[in-house]
Structure formats: structure tokens, C-alpha cells
Structure 1
Amino acid sequence: MIGAGIKRGTAELAVLSVLQEGPLHGYELARRIERQTNGALRFTLAALYPMLYRMEQQRWIRGSWETSANGRKRRCYRLTPVGKKKLAPLQREWEELFGALQRLTKAAHA
């Protein structure tokens, strides 16, 4: 299981990456992250929604209220052009970090 400190640092990357595939409401966003990481990353809705709000304030995502077929209102989130620009450098930073950690752990075992 991945620790909480590491998860906090990956949350923005996870949300932006999943929203790159298309718009989702918060609950489905959390489920998709969990499913695509085979359960390694899990976000409670209590933690996810404040982060989504902050990401809206930064204009990385845009939320809008939609009504489902059963009449239930829910907020659907979409990646904005600003969010798309933020995603590429975030991906490069994390790839660099993971590559460095792999090199470090291989060197430690050599």
C-alpha cells in the first residue's frame, strides 16, 4: 500500500490524467483512479472534493452541475486547456522522480 504522503503528491497528477480521458463526476473519478491503479491509489470523497475545488480555483479543471437520467444532480468535472498544459510537466516530473528512484534502488542492490 502506498503511504499517505506520497499519495498527496500524486493526487493532482492522478486527477488530471483521468480527466484527460473525458469528463467525470467526483465519485466516478475516485472509482476510476482506484480501478486504473489496481487499488494502489484510493481517495475518499472527503479528501477528493476539496482537492477538486482547489483545482477549479487554479483553473486546471471546470465543474458544472448536471442532472442524471434519474433526476439526480451531480457535479461533473472536465479538464481545461490550462489543466492540459499543467499535465505534461507534471508527468515529466514524476517520470524523472520514478526513474531516479529506480536507478537508486538498483545501485543499492548491486
Structure 2
Amino acid sequence: MSVSNQIMKGLLDGAILALIAEDETYGYQIAEKLKEKAFPDISEGSIYPVLLRLSKKGYVETRMVKSDSGGPKRKYYSISNNGKEELRNFKDKWLKLNQGMSNLFGGDEDVK
């Protein structure tokens, strides 16, 4: 089952910020980490617009790094102080929403 685009759009900013907060990273690596964490339905192409948006908002900083293998330069992302604050806000909102949804469903596996 595919997760709604609207739901994913709302969660992707926070998920990507959380990954960048763990360690400096680049777009392809973010896509791979999301897959490893079983984050559904994320293509590499949908990550770059989010990274651009996070950068424009001042939540991430970027730097270009020359490839060791002679390929094109790679853009690395790290979280800014504003990004750390935004991530704290996102986590707080997520925890409240998650608790509310758990209360609604009552942990019942047989939702109809």
C-alpha cells in the first residue's frame, strides 16, 4: 500500500533533517538511509527538492567536495543551528501526533 503523497510531504522534511543531524551526508546517501529505516515510497528524485527547500529556509548548510574517483563534485549537507531548532519542534509535534493516533487506534491491530 502506498502512503499518501500529502502525508509523505509533511513527514519528509523532518525525516531528512533527522538524518542530516546524525552526520553530514549527501542526497543519494539520504535515500539509502531512508530505505534502511523502512521509510516508504521515497525516490532519490523526491529528496532533492526537499534538500533545496531546507537549504533556502536556512535549516541545512552545504559544501561541495571533490570526488576521489574523478567524478563530479558531491554536495554535502549538514544541519544548521536553525535546523536543529526546527528538528526539535518537528519531534515535539510528531510525538504529540503519534500519541494521539495511538490513542485513537488503541493499539488495536484489527483496524477496520
- Whether TM exceeds 0.5 here: the answer is yes
Give the 3 Å change call, closer, same or farther, for CA 42–61 of structure 1 in structure 2: farther
What is the deviation of 1:45?
2.4
Uncovered stretches (5+) of structure 1, i.e. residues with no partner: none
Letter aligned with residue 28 of structure 1: Q
Q: CA RMSD in A?
A: 1.8
Partner in structure 1 of residue 86 of structure 2: 86
| Deviation by residue 1:41-76 (Cα, 9 ceiling, x = unmatched) | 342222211111111000000122111211221111
**Aligned sequence identity (%):** 22
Uncovered stretches (5+) of structure 2, i.e. residues with no partner: none
Partner in structure 1 of residue 34 of structure 2: 33
What is the deviation of 1:21?
0.8
TM-score when normalising by structure 1: 0.87
Partner in structure 2 of residue 47 of structure 1: 46
4+ residue runs over 4 A deviation: none
Letter aligned with residue 25 of structure 2: L
Give the 3 Å change call, closer, same or farther, for CA 42–80 of structure 1 in structure 2: farther
Count, aligned residues: 107
